[in-house]
């Protein structure tokens, strides 16, 4: 099948645009979180933004590999989320958007790619779906902790980690100021919520 006559070409273009927008959106959300004094959550947004940039790079690479003489533009028609709220709401909507990619968008793209004979792209979309599911769970856990008032409180001791210096300590409530670097509570999160990101 001619790549530029395929739905997979449009899906790759749409996914590239979506990942690029997510990267920018999360960078803006990180800035918003910093303004609210939530430095550790800002760090999570920044790290996920970096991962979205990596996804966009891989997707653009697949388009280039399939069409070395690509036309100047690939016209895609897709909807993308727009919104800037409080950090708690940004986390919640990010979790929902990532879940939509994980459960609906990328699995659909994978199915189409397989039907059109683009097995490498089908596998890529499946792998991206799994990653976006992880992002969704992370954002949801942080949003839920903020809503429940457990972002800085636990009924049982948990391992808290300073996003600035890496100091960790088992407590029910984290320090107001890190005993090592002196940074405020906004730099701390339960290690359980951020095993790979902070």
Q: What tens digit of pLDDT does each residue of 29-64 get?
A: 999 999 999 998 998 999 999 999 999 999 999 999
Give SS3 for 94: helix
CATH 3.30.930.10 corresponds to the domain 3-68+90-148: no
Give me the mean pLDDT over the 94-118 stretch: 98
- What is the token pair recorded at 113? 């790619």
The closest of 118, 26, 111, 18 to 60, measured between CA atoms, is: 18
Predicted TM-score of the model (pTM): 0.89
The residues of the chain that CATH labels 1.20.1260.10 are 3-68+90-148
Q: For 170, phi and psi rounded to 5 degrees? A: -85, 110
CA distance 72 to 11: 17
CATH 3.40.50 corresponds to the domain 158-193: no
Query: Average model confidence (pLDDT) for the chain?
Result: 90
Per-residue confidence (pLDDT) for residue 158, from 0 to 100: 86
Strand locations in 46-142, DSSP E?
Answer: none
CA distance 37 to 187: 8
The residues of the chain that CATH labels 2.20.28 are 158-193
Statement: residue 197 has pLDDT above 50? no
DSSP state, residue 192: G
């Amino acid at each position: 099948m001619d790549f530029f006559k395929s739905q997979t070409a449009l899906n790759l273009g749409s996914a590239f645009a979506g990942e690029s927008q997510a990267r920018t959106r999360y960078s803006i959300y990180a800035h918003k979180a910093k303004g609210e004094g939530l430095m550790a959550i800002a760090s999570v947004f920044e790290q996920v933004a970096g991962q979205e940039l990596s996804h966009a790079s891989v997707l653009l690479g697949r388009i280039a590999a399939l069409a070395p003489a690509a036309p100047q533009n690939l016209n895609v028609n897709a909807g993308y989320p727009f919104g800037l709220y409080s950090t708690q709401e940004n986390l919640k909507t990010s979790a929902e958007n990532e879940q939509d990619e994980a459960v609906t968008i990328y699995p659909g793209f994978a199915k189409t790619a397989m039907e059109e004979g683009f097995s490498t792209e089908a596998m890529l979309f499946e792998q991206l779906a799994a990653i976006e599911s992880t992002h969704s769970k992370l954002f949801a856990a942080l949003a839920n902790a903020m809503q429940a008032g457990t972002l800085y409180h636990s009924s049982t001791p948990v391992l808290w980690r300073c996003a600035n210096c890496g100091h960790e300590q088992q407590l029910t409530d984290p320090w107001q100021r890190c005993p090592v670097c002196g940074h405020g509570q906004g730099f701390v999160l339960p290690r359980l919520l951020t095993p790979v990101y902070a």
